[in-house]
Amino acid sequence: MNKYVKEFLHRGLMFGGFGPIIMAIIYLILSYTIKNFSFEGAQIFTAVVSTYLLAFVHAGSSVFNQIEHWSTMKGLLCQLVSLYIAYVVCYLINSWIPFEFSVVLIFTAIFVVGYLAIWGIVYLCVKGNAKKLNKKLV
């Protein structure tokens, strides 16, 4: 098996459990803040499984940026696409956003802008740290 596939699965399995934990915290907060807030068993099951898979993909997709023979852009695009699919499917099956074209389009725009902003910040930080390290080496 490809070492990157193994790493994707390893990272996903290590951190996948954080999705349901975060979902449980959100549901707990909602249950205390919204009067008559309740769930059916199928809703809880769907939320737990979907947030686990979301966290699994989220953690595993970080491997795309470590494939040496890929360009930075290819790694970022693969991660962006995998995360976008995981998020939009999770949000739609849990009815966290309605299945309407305009809403999904707005979600897509916000997701892409947020993703690019986060990676822009990460890129600038890494570039700055690399400059500092290079100065120390000289």
Could you read off the pLDDT of 97-114 as tens digits, one per residue?
999 999 999 999 999 999
Q: Are residues 71 and 22 in the same domain?
A: yes
Q: Span 6-12, mean pLDDT?
A: 84
Q: What's the number of domains the chain is made of?
A: 2
- Quick: pLDDT tens for 42-85: 888 888 889 889 988 988 898 998 888 999 899 999 999 999 99
Long-range pairs, 63-71, Cβ under 8 A, ≥24: 63/4, 63/7, 63/8, 63/11, 66/4, 66/7, 67/4
* Contact partners, residue 32, CB within 8 Å, separation at least 6: none
pLDDT band at 2 (very low <50, low <70, confident <90, very high): confident
Q: Are residues 72 and 12 in the same domain?
A: yes
Tokens 């008559």, residue?
36
Q: Are 83 and 118 in contact (CB under 8 A)?
A: no
Among 116, 25, 33, 38, which Cα is nearest to 79's? 116
Q: How much is the pTM?
A: 0.76
Quote the domain boundaries for residue 131: 98-138
pLDDT score at 1: 64
Positive or negative torsion for Cα 69, 71, 75, 81: negative
Q: Are residues 17 and 54 in the same domain?
A: yes
Q: Are residues 89 and 30 in the same domain?
A: yes
Q: Are residues 67 and 84 in the same domain?
A: yes
Q: Are residues 91 and 107 in the same domain?
A: no
Q: Are residues 83 and 116 in the same domain?
A: no
